[in-house]
Amino acid sequence: MPIQPTTLVIDGLGSWTRNSYRSAVLSLDSDSDIKSPVSVWYVDGGDHPVEPDWRSEQWHGRDLLDGSNSWITENYAESGSEKWAGLNADAVFIVTPDYAHMRTAESYAGTVGPSARAASILVEKPFAENPTDAHAFRAAVQSLGDGRPQVQGLDHYALQLWVLEQLCPDGLLEEIGPITLVEFFMLERKPTDSDRLQTLHGGLTRDMGSHLLGLSAPYFDLASMSDVKALCGAKHSGLESFGAETCSLLSFTIERIGSAGSVPCVSVVGKGIGSDVKFLDLHGTEGRFVRLDFTRFEESTDYPFRHAILGSWTHDLESSDIVRDPYRSLIDQNPTSMREKLYRKGGSPYFQVHRHVPVMENPYFDLMKAIVNRTASPSLISHDDCESIVDALELWSGKIQEFPKLFQKLRSDRGCRAFSGWPIHDTFVPPEALTANGPRVYRIPGEGPGDLLVGSRP
């Protein structure tokens, strides 16, 4: 009996499909461990941006896999076509713009017909554009009863949580104890792409901050978020007509899963910044922590960039495997109560590396391989957590949108800027972010005349 192929559908033909998903498919084609044929369908919804050459029956300029030399075949269909309606997929990846996520996902759930069907629907972050769409989709899927597809969220950074199983085989919390503080930095030198402004109209916090929530889902009750403060919001120069922020700093608290306690969290995200800085720190007890480092740094260094790291802060520089935290300059001028708890008085910028493992280069490949081989897969986000993420992002956006109403008064009364220097402008700071001597700051080295100062409060 011939082996039934695994059918994967990728709906949405923008640059992310080209750069990440198709490269994963090509990696599948060269992997000798694939245990069944794979039929990959790229679907064009027709009402959102696509890459050049995708809308072509011949796919001019594309070297498609036809199965003649491998088990992988690639196909193209337009949404709503007879070819598309006949698809019965093992998994569909929803990679359309945010505003089309829910209606695209519903077209595979069987709630509207005739339609393609999928056993598993994987929706890219941030899952839905707004809570109304998210909750309506959930209700539609629930109405299907036992025959409904499995719906999960997909975030390429959250998929990297899989490597923590290698880093901490006995469990993360067994290694560091209860999580006491979360810090997330995702800053990119590259400015916001002009061709993405339509899909990013909700702001970069919604786009980049969703990664933090996806990474946090296994450890926290996302629905318990409280005490949200938007401490800064700004946009980089050249986007004066863009109606949302491209940089922000937020703080909030959230309840741990499995142990009582509310944990403080800090999120700093933005594009058009002087330096690339990408990491998540999960701080435990007795100075122990886990870091997921996503920063690309090509020069040779003792510090393991793009690795998951298990470490502990130390003053003993004679110990083995001691490195200086390359991000310490971000917090040297911000002695907040959270940092004082973490470092204690006179805390050290050095830590001992107990173990480290590289992050996955393309987690979509690892996920696809797991689906095809029916093995354990990287970390996906439950439907419940997806809804909580959408609700939290809506709350964050509301806090950030308060800034323009305060900016003119603050500029004339205090002349204060939380973001200063190149290439940031148009900063909005709420009054509670100010201290008697002005705002505290994270100092982020910039490439232009001056540093970026990201305001915080003690």
| Predicted local distance difference test score (pLDDT) of residue 144 | 84
Q: Which residue has the higher pLDDT, 439 or 102?
A: 102
Give the residue ranges of DSSP H helices in 151-232: 164-167, 172-176, 204-216
For 158-360+393-397, the fitting CATH number among 3.40.50.1370, 3.30.360.10, 3.40.50.920, 3.40.50.800 is 3.30.360.10
The answer to whether residue 215 scores a pLDDT higher than 80 is yes
For the ranges 50-64, 196-210, 326-340, 444-458, the lowest mean pLDDT is seen at: 444-458
Cα distance between residue 85 and residue 121, in whole Å: 16
| Predicted local distance difference test score (pLDDT) of residue 138 | 92
Rounded mean pLDDT of 428-434?
A: 32
The bridge status of strand 277-283 relative to strand 424-428 is: unpaired
Say which residue the tokens 């093992």 belong to: 90
| Predicted local distance difference test score (pLDDT) of residue 63 | 61
Cα distance between residue 108 and residue 95, in whole Å: 13
Rounded mean pLDDT of 317-335?
A: 69
6 has which bridge partners? 38
| Predicted local distance difference test score (pLDDT) of residue 111 | 60
| Predicted local distance difference test score (pLDDT) of residue 329 | 58
Cα distance between residue 23 and residue 364, in whole Å: 9
Q: Which residue has the higher pLDDT, 363 or 13?
A: 363
**Angle at CA of residue 342, ends 180 and 333, nearest 5°:** 130
166 Cβ neighbours under 8 A, 6+ residues apart: 308, 357
| Predicted local distance difference test score (pLDDT) of residue 217 | 96
pLDDT digit string, tens, across residues 190-207: 777 777 777 777 788 999
| Predicted local distance difference test score (pLDDT) of residue 257 | 93
Q: What kind and span of H or E run contains 103?
A: helix 101-109
State which fold the 6-154 domain adopts. Answer: Rossmann fold (3.40.50)
Handedness of CA 167, 171, 177, 181 (dihedral sign): positive
Domain layout of the chain by residue ranges? 6-154, 158-360+393-397
| Predicted local distance difference test score (pLDDT) of residue 340 | 44
pLDDT digit string, tens, across residues 218-267: 999 999 999 998 877 777 666 666 777 778 888 899 999 987 889 999 89
| Predicted local distance difference test score (pLDDT) of residue 13 | 87
Q: Which residue has the higher pLDDT, 348 or 313?
A: 313
30 Cβ neighbours under 8 A, 6+ residues apart: none
| Predicted local distance difference test score (pLDDT) of residue 114 | 57
Say which residue the tokens 């990408």 belong to: 278
Residue 55 phi/psi, 5-degree rounding, is: -90, 75
Burial 392-413 (b: 16+ CB within 10 A, else e): bbbbbbebbbebeeebeebeee
| Predicted local distance difference test score (pLDDT) of residue 48 | 64
Question: In which band, very low, low, confident or very high, does the pLDDT at 345 lie, cut at 50, 70 and 90?
Answer: very low
Structure tokens at 379: 């970390």
pLDDT digit string, tens, across residues 92-133: 999 998 889 999 998 898 765 556 788 899 999 999 999 999
> pTM of the full predicted structure?
0.84
The one-character DSSP state at 360 is: P
| Predicted local distance difference test score (pLDDT) of residue 54 | 62
| Predicted local distance difference test score (pLDDT) of residue 366 | 94
pLDDT digit string, tens, across residues 143-172: 888 878 899 999 999 999 999 999 999 999
Rounded mean pLDDT of 75-86?
A: 84
* Number of other CB atoms surrounding residue 143 within 10 Å: 10
Query: If you average pLDDT over every residue of the chain, what do you get?
Result: 78
For the ranges 269-273, 310-314, 419-423, the lowest mean pLDDT is seen at: 419-423
For the ranges 32-41, 360-369, 421-430, the lowest mean pLDDT is seen at: 421-430
The answer to whether residue 60 scores a pLDDT higher than 70 is no
Give the CA dihedral 420, 421, 423, 428, nearest 10 degrees: 20
The answer to whether residue 442 scores a pLDDT higher than 90 is no
pLDDT digit string, tens, across residues 366-424: 999 999 999 888 789 999 999 999 999 999 988 887 755 433 332 322 222 333 322 23
Q: Which residue has the higher pLDDT, 347 or 251?
A: 251
Task: Provide the 3-class DSSP secondary structure of residue 363.
Answer: helix
| Predicted local distance difference test score (pLDDT) of residue 38 | 92
Q: What kind and span of H or E run contains 24?
A: helix 22-29
The answer to whether residue 445 scores a pLDDT higher than 50 is no
Amino acid, single-letter form, for residue 14? G
Q: Is 171 left (phi over 0), alpha (psi -120 to 50) or beta?
A: left
| Predicted local distance difference test score (pLDDT) of residue 202 | 79
Q: Which residue has the higher pLDDT, 92 or 64?
A: 92
Rounded mean pLDDT of 326-345?
A: 48
